[in-house]
Each structure stands twice: as structure tokens, then as C-alpha cells.
Structure 1
Amino acid sequence: MKKTLLAIFLLTAFGLKAQKYELSKEIPFQPGEKIELKATVGFIRAAEATFSVSDVIYTINNKPTWKIDINAKTVGVFEFFSSVRDNWGTYYDTTSLVPQQFYRYIKEGRFRKNEILYFDHDKDSVTVAKLHKETMKLESQKDHAIPENVQDMVSGYYYLRSIDFDKIKEGELIVINTFFDDKQKPFAVKFMGREVLKTKLGDVNALVLVPMMKKDSLFEEDNTLKIWLSDDLNKIPLKVQAKIYVGYLNVELKNVENLRHPLSIIE
């Protein structure tokens, strides 16, 4: 089940220029927030993912930061064919809303990849440290230039949650600068509008987004992915649906804890 849950939420786009957006006056999340998702292919359980914000504020580069982790794993029959244990995380500046540090530890079958990104926004640079796949010892590091206010692939999603969608027009493309795989890559989604979505927690007002991405080894068609976020100050993921080569992938909200704002459930 490689490149599934994390590929869904941590996406790259192409040929686009990032813009600045008006943000909500209130932060959409808080320490201790936890979002659990489950993925199925057809009727078969495939994977689970957890988005969690630590209940501790960490100091990185002399800045207060939230520690945010995304953990994904295969389950059921998919665990038998190709086990996945992925952890992506960021230390996200509570004031400037940029990452101070990013890490990813990838275990997918026999494949391993470990790296840490150290951001220096005063110098518009990032140091990418590659770690040994087993011992985690430093193997190499390299500096890269980055644009102002760049995000990583985790903080980019939390920045997206901060955008005031009342100021976004239906059909508008949202583009956020990110740094990923040793280079700058824009993260882009199209705002398709609003609708009511039936969820485990009830009927919820939702924002509908389509990430701009090309057909690849996972997705069968261009821009085939569709994401529903709660249409409230939280903007948590409610559902993801995509046509992939082995069928239809559905990701649905399983549980939430410690949301900062009321969820937009229709009574």
C-alpha cells in the first residue's frame, strides 16, 4: 500500500506559482488535537493514519513550535503484501506559521528512507540531512536556497487549514510553496465549492477540494483525487476519494479528539 495515505494528503503540483492568502483570525487547531482516518479499497481495509499535534510546545531555533506528526500504516491483507510504517513530522512555528524542522522516517516493505530538514528562514535556506536507513547515523547533508515562507509537506496542510475560505472563490486554485525531495515544489488544490457530507459523526458542512496532480503509478487519471474538509474553523479532513489502478480508494474520518472549534455538524 505504498504512496497511499501520505501521498493523498502530502501532494505536489507542477508549473504553478505560490500566492499569499488571507488567514482566519483564529488558529484552526490546538495542542492535543488528534485525527484518525481509515482507508479502504473497495470493501477491503487497507490502511490507517493518525494526524496528531503534541500537547507540548517545543522550542526550535529559539521559536515556539507545535510538533505535528502524521503516522500511516497498512492493515489487513495489505499488511501481508507490503507492510508500511511511515512517520512524517514538522515543528511548526506558532507565530510565523512556517516549519522550523521537518523529518520523515519511511518503512515500506524493504524500502527505507530517513531524513531531517533544518530550516533557517532568516537566511532563506534549508539543510537536508540524510540518515542511514538502519542506524539513523548522518550520511550526508546539503544546503538549499528556499523562498520566503516556504512550507514542508506536513506544515503545508496545516497552513491550508488556516486559510480563510470565505475569501476564496469557487474554482480558484490555491498554491502554496513547499520544499520536498531536495527541491521547491508547489502544493496546489482547486476549491470546488461546498456541500453537506454524511460522516460517522453526522452530516457535516464541507469544503470540496481537488489537488492538482498528474497521473502516476498510483493514480489512474490526472486530478482524480477529491478531498472534503470540514467547513468551519477546524478544516479537518472528513473524506478522501480517488480512482487508483487497483480500484477506488476511500479514506474516511474514524475519530477526532480535542478539536479547538465546534465541528460544523448539521443538527
Structure 2
Amino acid sequence: MKRGQGFKGSRGQIPLFILIILIGILINLQNAESFNIPEKFEYELTWTGIKAGTATLEITRTGNDIKIVSTAQSANWVSVFYTVDDRVETLLTKKSSLMFVGEPVNYRLRIKEGRHRRDKEVIFNSGNKVTYIDHINNEKQNFDVPSLIFDPLSSFYYLRTLKLVVGEPVYVAVFDSKKVWNVEVQVLKKEKVTLPTGTVDTILIKPLMKSEGIFYKKGDIYIWLTDDEKRIPVKLQTKVAIGSINALLTGGRY
């Protein structure tokens, strides 16, 4: 597909405590195949090798609701001439028919980067429909979407649950910028990445789509995920007008 192409024995014989143990084992196996909840990643942002800010990526659960939040802030010295204050949130709800953690319910993006401002929201309705709201330009539109669709933030977590094989692209349906995109994610290679805590084996991917936020730039985006079942994003990189921006994992809980 082309880049950014759109979509048009009898249970009663088993003792209760055995059932509880079996259920616990199944839950642990499912978690072992993806990521932990709660989970939080903390990143240091650098621009051409100079510390330029911080970013976080966090997922939490309350009952059947899952919340994912991404933030990015510029360092004080950067904010003097170019302030970055980004916050992206998505709310999902658990559906028994879906193997992933949940289906998107609400997506909200608030961007402050220099003079650039964005405040948009997507509400995922029943009947394969979404409502797009631009809170700055007072715009509201409805769109038809496929049954399995994600916003840019939840799509990344869904991607982490997929089998990644070098040389074999994967595709994820994403609603963004008033369109449905069948996003191709290239799986490029395996390599080692050095973190403050040591060196880890990673698998390098390249999504062929750029959503808004700190990594909404003209250059290609590269993401290094740990080469294990958790697929922890330890490094991100994108080219900008001058140099590149890197995000390196420095802390969190995972």
C-alpha cells in the first residue's frame, strides 16, 4: 500500500481456587505479551546534542477506562525564544471483543509551539462514526470510519502489541487531520541503543505518518523499541529545519 493511503469437562468439577489460579496465569500471560498498566516513560529532549526539554508518555487504568497522556515541555533557555507546551490525551474503554486494551472514546490534542496553536478533539461515536472538533477555529464535523480505528496516540500502543519482523511492514488504521489513514510502519533493523541505565537491544521502526506535536515535523520519524515483549520506546528521533530532535528514555516506571 502507498504511504498514507485512506480507507473508504464440566466447569463445576474444578475447585474454585484452581479457577482463580488459572485466571491469574492467563492475565499474566496476556500482560507479558504487551506492556504494563500503569506505565510511565520520562524522556530528555535534545536538539543537535543540547538539552532542549522533557517529555513524558503515561498510561493508567481506572476500572474499564484507560487513559494515555503525552506531554512535552521546552527547557527554560529554549522557552525564551520558542516555547513548547504540548499535551495529548486519549481515553479508551475496554471491549471484550477487542484483544487490545480498549477502543478509543475521546482524543484531545493541545499544542503550543512558538506561535503555533492547536486545540482539537475527536469523539469516537457508536455506529463507526467520529466527531471532529477544532476548538480554536470553532469547527465541528462528522466522519464515517472503519470498525477498528485508532487515534494517533492509542495507535502507538496498539503497534507495540503487534509482531514486528525486520523487512515486513505493518499497517494501522488511524483517524487524524479529518482523514482515515492506513498508516504503514516500516520495520527497519535491529540495533543496540545506549541509555543512562545501560545498553539495550532494540528494533527500529519508521511510521510513514506524522501527527501533530513535538514530532510533527517535515523529517522522517524513527522510533527504537526494545526487542522484547514489552516493546518499550527507548529513543525517538526526527529531523527539523536545523539539526534533529532526539528523545532518550531517562526514567519512569515500567
Same structural fold, with TM-score higher than 0.5 when normalized by the shorter chain: yes
- Aligned-partner Cα distance in 1 for 2:56–2:127: 33
CA distance in 2, matches of 1:93, 1:55: 10
Which protein is richer in helix relative to its size?
Answer: 2
Counterpart in the other structure of 1:7: none
Aligned-partner Cα distance in 1 for 2:168–2:116: 38
What letter corresponds to residue 84 of structure 1 in structure 2? V
Q: With the length of structure 2 as denominator, give the TM-score of the two structures.
A: 0.77
Matched, 1:99 2:104: yes
- Deviation at residue 183 of structure 1 after TM alignment: 1.3
* 2:85 paired with 1:85: yes
Amino acid at match of 1:101: N
Amino acid at match of 1:115: K
> Given the two structures, how large is their TM-score scaled by the length of structure 1?
0.74
Return the alpha-carbon distance in structure 2 between the equivalents of residues 90 and 127 of structure 1: 14
What is the identity, as a one-letter code, of the residue corresponding to 1:117?
V
Q: How far 1:16 moved relative to its partner?
A: 6.9
Task: Structure 1: give runs of 5+ residues left out of the alignment.
Answer: 1-12, 18-23, 58-63, 134-138, 260-267
What is the alpha-carbon root mean square deviation over aligned residues?
A: 2.5
Distance 1:56 1:16, change over 3 A: same
Structure 2 stretches of 5 or more lacking a match? 8-28, 211-215
Q: Does 1:118 pair with 2:123? A: yes
Structure 2 residue aligned with 1:205: 201
Q: Is 1:127 aligned with 2:126?
A: no
Tell me which residue corresponds to 1:237: 233
Instruction: Count how many residue pairs are aligned between Structure 1 and Structure 2.
Output: 221
SS in structure 1 of the partner of residue 160 of structure 2: helix
Which one has a bigger Cα radius of gyration?
Answer: 2
Cα separation, 1, equivalents of 2:88 and 2:238: 22
The code of the aligned residue for 1:256 comes to G
Following superposition, the deviation at residue 109 of structure 1 comes to 2.7
Hey, what's the Cα distance between the residues in 1 that align with 2:85 and 2:229? 31
CA distance in 2, matches of 1:47, 1:191: 28
- State the Cα deviation string for residues 69-109 of structure 1 (Å, max 9, x = none): 00111114321122111111111233333211111122223
Aligned to 2:55: 49
SS of corresponding position for 1:154: helix
Q: What is the correspondence of 1:132-147 to structure 2 with a 5 Å cutoff?
A: 132=136, 139-147=138-146
